[in-house]
Amino acid sequence: MKSSSNWSNFHKIARNSFIAASTVCVTNEFNFSNTCLPDRRSFCFVAGNRSSFVELKSEEEFNNALSKARDGSVSSVFYYTAAWCGPCRLISPVMLELSEKYPHVTTYKVDIDERGLSNAIGKLNVAAVPTLQFFKGGVKKAEIVGVDVVKLRSVMEYLYK
């Protein structure tokens, strides 16, 4: 049996309104410190100068990105995440890899705890993290809730190759 500190981490997450559908228990046994930035609220994404990855910080940025996705001007993936979400940390390197593999697809990282974004996110019925929404030709073509790397790779390949 795991120590009680591991279970306390589970209870902290369970009290939040956003819970990853595939999460059973999150422990602190995994060490992400070698892959994450010093600011623990930001994830392991360091996209450099690649224009295919954009971190949205305000409702205005979010609304502009969603408008571009819905009017068909850009193919895009919206990656809804949270700093406290263990499964989000597990999938973040895969998201970075895929944003590099498909540079013509804009990947938008949306931290659900970012101030000013909760109203915009609420309108889209995002109820769990990680949630991935895939847009192509102005239409939401797919959505993945939870961590399913095989499905993620398949959807990206099918929609954006």
Judge whether 88 counts as a catalytic residue.
yes
Active-site choice (25, 36, 44, 88): 88
CATH number corresponding to 53-160 = 3.40.30.10
Question: Can you give the pLDDT at residue 149?
Answer: 97
Domain boundaries, the chain: 53-160
Judge whether 85 counts as a catalytic residue.
yes
**17-49: pLDDT as tens digits:** 333 333 322 223 333 333 333 333 333 344 444
Q: Nearest-5° angle of CA 93, CA 112, CA 7?
A: 75
- Give which of 33, 51, 43 is closest to 80, Cα–Cα: 43
**57-73: pLDDT as tens digits:** 999 999 999 999 999 99
Q: What is the DSSP letter of 133?
A: E
